[in-house]
Amino acid sequence: MDERHRRILQTNRSNLVADLDPSSLYDGLLEKGVFTQDMIDKIKSKKTRRDQARRLVQDLETRGTRAFPVFLECLRDTGQHRLVELLQNGAPPVQPQPRPPSPKQVVRPVIQPLPICELDGGKNGKDIVPVHRTQSPDSTPSPPPENLRPTPPGRKRRDSIQSYKMDANPCGHCLIINNVDFEPLSELSNRTGSNIDCDKLERRFKALNFIVDVKTNLKYKQIRHELSALSKKDHSQYDCCVVIMLSHGTEVSHNRFPGAVHGVDGPAVPVQLITNYLNGRHCPSLQGKPKLFFIQACGGGERDTGFEVSPDESRPSIGGTDDQTDAIPMSSSSDSLSMSDETDARATLPTPSDILVSYSTFPGYVSWRDTQSGSWYVETLDRILEENAATDDLATMLMMVNHEVSQNSAKGVYKQMPGSFNFLRKHLYFQPQPQ
């Protein structure tokens, strides 16, 4: 499909999902060779009209140059003139090309999974360097989200196979732990710029309809206390839970999730322990619901200088003097946890199921933070959520974050690569509050 047509579909996806009648288009799209019968059957397998419309639009982007004009033609034939007008406002007139000969093999859409990456690392925040970010040419803001319908009290959970239920009002709890000022005995530097990250994420997750609770400058035991309190809440009326850690980080040995996050007194809480508080055994009211963890902290002390790429992959950025890292040297502590790795209380699901941990950087490497504008990772995550949460699932948005942060450079030399451990079983679509 032409890039301009793909952008038009992406920009108007919210309206298409809201108003499109996919069932009236199947015969036309099949007859004109845009979709195969197998693709139509997969779209029909979605349980709701909205899910069918969303899948149809996503698959349409993979179907070549004829797909967009044929789609407009089918919309006209079925009387969906408002959508035709909406799409044509951003599209030059195009005539459908003749249908090519049927290939011997069916071309299926390629679904890109979220890559499995890991944590970050660095040294005590001694180096200071800013970054100038470049605007990606194909970043088109999404239209404002649709209105949410209030959820009646005592509603039953109705998860679909394809995506998590995310329409509770409010959607769930979001705990942000923001460690800025570290005690002298910890030998850790203060994290200038972290309050900027915290403010952005507090506003963002409130806009995504979460109950946000911010805790600042917590010691090791206080971090564990807050996580324990969160696990003991009744989440039965909510659909999701989010934990965000903003602190210094380090490497520890692990058998599931790498890395650890420091309290302001120095000792570090392993990420594996942080996730254990909300797993199926320790928080029964979150069983089968997505638990999201965002870690802005280093995972080690190495600095990545990157490697040479072809010119079309390279987006140079200019270094300066305001970036710091969130790393300390490798810790020798093990991750033997007070909460043992026992069988999940829900026998049909593994313990780490429905958990996603998003790290600001790859294991062993530093994570960069600009003292004036906040960390690379949080700044990008906030913007991607603002522009795309109404239309894209979380895994897709995190891949966008990975790509954009990877284009940055500190001192014109050092790089950063975010990544995630994704144990979600379904797509996750946020429900932003109407603006």
Active site residues: 248, 298
How far is 127 from 136, CA to CA, in rounded Å? 27
How far is 253 from 271, CA to CA, in rounded Å? 11
CA distances from 221 to 62, 188, 326 (A): 51, 17, 20
Cβ pair 407, 315 in contact under 8 A? yes
Tokens 């009648």 correspond to what residue?
21
How far is 201 from 207, CA to CA, in rounded Å? 10
| Tokens coding 120 | 């970050």
Burial of 102 (0-12, 13-18, 19+ CB in 10 A): exposed
Return the closest-CA partner of residue 287 out of 431, 152, 425: 425
Return the closest-CA partner of residue 395 out of 346, 364, 356: 356
The DSSP call for residue 79 is T
**What type of residue sits at position 287?**
Q
Tokens 């400058």 correspond to what residue?
217
The dihedral built from the CA positions of residue 289, 294, 300 and 302, taken in this order, carries a sign that is positive
Contact residues for 275 (Cβ-Cβ < 8 A; gap 6+): 256, 257, 291, 293, 352, 355, 357
**What type of residue sits at position 56?**
L
The DSSP call for residue 6 is H
